[in-house]
Amino acid sequence: MNSSRQAQLLQYGRELIESELSEAQKLLHRLDHNFIQACELILATKGKVVVSGVGKSGHIGKKIAASLASTGTPSFFMHLSEALHGDLGMVNSTDTIILISYSGRANEFNFILPILKDLNVPIIAITGGKTSPLAKAANTVLDVSIEKEACPMGLAPTSSSTNTLLIGDALAIAVMRARGFNEEDFARSHPAGSLGAKLLNRVKDVMRTGERIPKIAESATVFDAMLELSRTGLGLIAVCDANNHIKGVFTDGDLRRLLLNNGTLHDPINQVMTSPGYRLPENKKAIEALKVFNDYNITAAPVVDQNDCLVGAINIHDLHQAGIS
């Protein structure tokens, strides 16, 4: 590809972005009492917020519904055409509906608007047609009108769809902030993501259990501890009494220091262990456990239940592998 063609492509891209930014800037100054009313309608909704549109408006609508749902507002997308063939049965008077259409004159509105009025469903219109049938039927209108599309032919939805996306994001985030929706709330909607791993997982969710728990009896020797350290590879073992209560801990570092100081493998473990040693509660958040490791400069710890009985073990690698860092 020659350099003039490359320069031309860059120019096309810049012109489009400049055009869309210009139209979006006008949208900023158009937020008024209608936006406030739309937010209040959503906040007062006892059921779900239903987002509906067709074509490019439908694609944007799906994103708006997803943003609302993930930020604390129960929401789903309903295709405008499918609404006329049974899906409208998903909507009732406890819901609020957001209808998206730049012209506000889609043929489907001739059928759906009277039904929504009969159901007494509040309607939020996102449209550029301020005098359209959609705008006239709505409880509040969010004006996303533009002077021109960024498409040079003025045909492909570009600036208009960007404005629609922006107003949808503004609604979702304004309502989210009004609800006091926080990081932990967000994590519950995204349990498989890194944020969910950090904020939702507790020590018991990622710890080692069963045969993977490194432990020995308090009557054992250093030799027994060495074998258990080798078997489990955690770098730490818990020294427990007959009731499974931790009396102390012993690490591979302790073993090296003992041998360097002329200790022997026959020494009783209860004489060389660290007592009582640090232990983690099983219900402690995993992200807090990581902070403990960093603050105390340790890499592993036994885990206890509410009765202070050994139930697991965990090291810093277990936390990292669970996406907690």
Domain boundaries, the chain: 3-181, 203-321
Convert the pLDDT of each residue in 128-150 to its tens digit: 999 999 999 999 999 999 999 99
Query: What pLDDT score does 199 carry?
Result: 65
CA distances from 44 to 37, 38, 39, 48, 179 (A): 10, 10, 9, 10, 11
* pLDDT in the model for residue 165: 97
Is the domain spanning 3-181 CATH 3.40.50.9100? The answer is no
Under-70 pLDDT residues of the chain:
1, 183-200
Q: How many CB atoms lie within 10 A of CB 263?
A: 15
Other CB atoms closer than 10 Å to residue 169's CB: what's the count?
15
Architecture of domain 203-321: Roll (3.10)
Q: Give pLDDT, residue 156.
A: 85
Cβ atoms within 10 Å of 47's Cβ, excluding its own: 13
- Closest by CA to 125, choosing from 157, 107, 148, 102, is 102
317 is in an annotated binding site: no
In whole angstroms, what is the distance from residue 108 CA to residue 129 CA?
Answer: 15
Answer yes or no: are the C-beta atoms of 272 and 222 closer than 8 Å: yes
- In this prediction, residue 128 carries a pLDDT of 95
